[in-house]
Structure 1
Amino acid sequence: MKKIILFPILLIISFYSIQNHATAVTKSREAYEKTGNVIWEIKTKEKLVAITFDDGPHPVFTPQILEILAKYNAKATFFVAGNKAERFPEVLRRVVKEGHEVGNHTYSHLITSKITAVKLKEELNRTDNIIQMITGTKPTLYRPVAGIYNDVIINTAIKNGKFVILWSWDQDPRDWRNPPANQITRYVTKGINPGDIIVLHDWHGSEFSQACQTVMALDDILSYLSSKGYKPVTVSEMLYRSKTNYPEPFYPFR
């Protein structure tokens, strides 16, 4: 009798063990792009680019970035971590007040390809609630942490009403390593094209850090873009102006 009772129980335990340790399938970029919900760059004839910032808001660097963006009348998209937004709500309010866009970058910033659908949904919902409480608006855009994507991450995001925004493959200067500002500038400007999505970071080190090479590079990047006739806009505005099948941006372009 004991063997008859234990056998199905062991089968169930084995099944869930396999499920929990299975590697999620990762399809090609083209396969995900066909869903219409995953974006690396945007096809547009206008000289538009989207500058994005991950991991903030930072109490020192994000305000400095906002000052530089205002100098050039440039708009950006900030993919914020819920735990940072929670700590620095006044900075996030300023981001929105000055006409920039806010996206979801999860709550805990877990760098893993093995995140479960349940955990990711929890991270997205928690961050959505924090952003909505601070800004009054629920974000529709989501950027996977470290740009890691697979079927679980993509499908969970889409099921939760998100557009997944990655970045142009030649527009990642890896500024999170804090290389010299001129190196960041050269990397971004050397291959700029209409519709590019540029990834930068407004969180380096800790909240007490006082120097950031990304901040130093941003003025030169925006100066170059202006000299070449490029207009930095939010991701949602670029999607909308490209006349693709995306929702009208909710703020501030209605």
Structure 2
Amino acid sequence: MTSKVKRFLFSIIALFMIVYSYKEVSSLVQNNDIFFRNGSREEKLIALTFDDGPHPKETHEILDVLDKYNVKGTFFVVGKHANWYSKPLIRASKEGHEIGNHTFSHPDISNLSSYDIKKEIHDCEDILVKLTGKKPTLFRPPYGSYSEDELSKIARESGYKIILWTTIDAKDWKNPPSAQISNIIVNKVQNGDIILLHDYGTENTVKALDVIIPTMIKKGYRFVTVSELISK
């Protein structure tokens, strides 16, 4: 192989790598305003999020604790539960908490067609608008499971940001002891964290909040909604 041929082949390979890298970077940049796992690390702000509700008992109890400390949370609501238990959802909205979309029936959307994903999101959205008068702008995929390209396209078309969570997961959905939930969060939280919790079938989460919130406030943290957090 002559030196000219070698240079030509190296040039082709280099060009291919540049184009490929550009596409990868472009994809990351394009989705950077859609997917969020945390907010700015510069300020001592954190967001409490609650999935799977509303629940007729536990959502009210969580709202009582949040009200006690004048903290606003973000609730990712399952549409069918909102149909069953509308009162705690309406209360959360009226008290200034943020309401997000968590699908209608809580499926693993990575197993669904684009049509069915859109239906899950829009059916939940219709209920939330009916009950609160507000269109949600935040969506969290159940189980944190999704196809990035597919979901980013649907989110852009439907006017949503995709909210995931920071690496801290107290697995409160298993309803472990409240001290275990609070210790994991208090000891690991960082500036800008989005904290994953649940308000359906997790009574110990309520008790844990009564430790988490005052402890973090003493450490100088301020609790905000997800929209406030990601706007910083």
TM-score (ref. length: structure 1): 0.77
Q: 1:125: which partner in 2?
A: 122
CA distances 1:157-190 after superposition (whole Å, capped 9, x unpaired): 2321110000001x21111111111111111111
- 2:219 corresponds, among 206, 216, 228, to 228
Cα pair 2:38 2:194 within 8 Å, conserved:
yes
Aligned partner of residue 155 in structure 2, secondary structure: helix
Consecutive unaligned residues of structure 2, counting only runs of 5 or more, are 1-23
Give the Cα–Cα distance (whole angstroms) in 2 for the partners of residues 59 and 134 of structure 1: 15
* Percentage of pairs with the same residue: 43
Q: 2:171: which partner in 1?
A: 174
Cα pair 1:33 1:39 within 8 Å, conserved:
no
Cα pair 1:56 1:201 within 8 Å, conserved:
yes
Q: How many pairs are equivalent?
A: 207
Give the Cα–Cα distance (whole angstroms) in 2 for the partners of residues 138 and 160 of structure 1: 11
Aligned partner of residue 107 in structure 1, secondary structure: coil
- 1:149 corresponds, among 146, 149, 164, to 146
Aligned partner of residue 188 in structure 1, secondary structure: helix
Aligned partner of residue 110 in structure 2, secondary structure: coil
Aligned partner of residue 113 in structure 1, secondary structure: helix
Consecutive unaligned residues of structure 1, counting only runs of 5 or more, are 1-26, 205-210, 243-254
Q: 1:76: which partner in 2?
A: 73
Cα pair 2:34 2:155 within 8 Å, conserved:
no
Question: Partner letter of residue 166 of structure 1?
Answer: L
Give the Cα–Cα distance (whole angstroms) in 1 for the partners of residues 112 and 227 of structure 2: 27
Q: CA deviation at 1:44?
A: 4.2
Question: Partner letter of residue 110 of structure 2?
Answer: S
User: Residues 1-254 of structure 1: matches in 2 within 5 Å?
Assistant: 31=28, 34-150=31-147, 151-169=149-167, 171-204=168-201, 212-240=203-231, 242=232
CA distances 1:26-47 after superposition (whole Å, capped 9, x unpaired): x99x938843110000114221
Which of structure 1's runs of 4+ aligned residues deviate more than 4 A? none
Q: 2:8: which partner in 1?
A: none
- Cα separation, partners in 2 of 1:194 and 1:54, compared to 1, 3 Å: same
Cα pair 1:32 1:38 within 8 Å, conserved:
no
- Cα separation, partners in 2 of 1:81 and 1:32, compared to 1, 3 Å: farther
Q: 1:250: which partner in 2?
A: none
Give the Cα–Cα distance (whole angstroms) in 2 for the partners of residues 91 and 188 of structure 1: 25
Give the Cα–Cα distance (whole angstroms) in 2 for the partners of residues 161 and 148 of structure 1: 20
TM-score (ref. length: structure 2): 0.84
Give the Cα–Cα distance (whole angstroms) in 2 for the partners of residues 152 and 167 of structure 1: 19
Give the Cα–Cα distance (whole angstroms) in 2 for the partners of residues 99 and 223 of structure 1: 20
Question: Partner letter of residue 148 of structure 1?
Answer: S
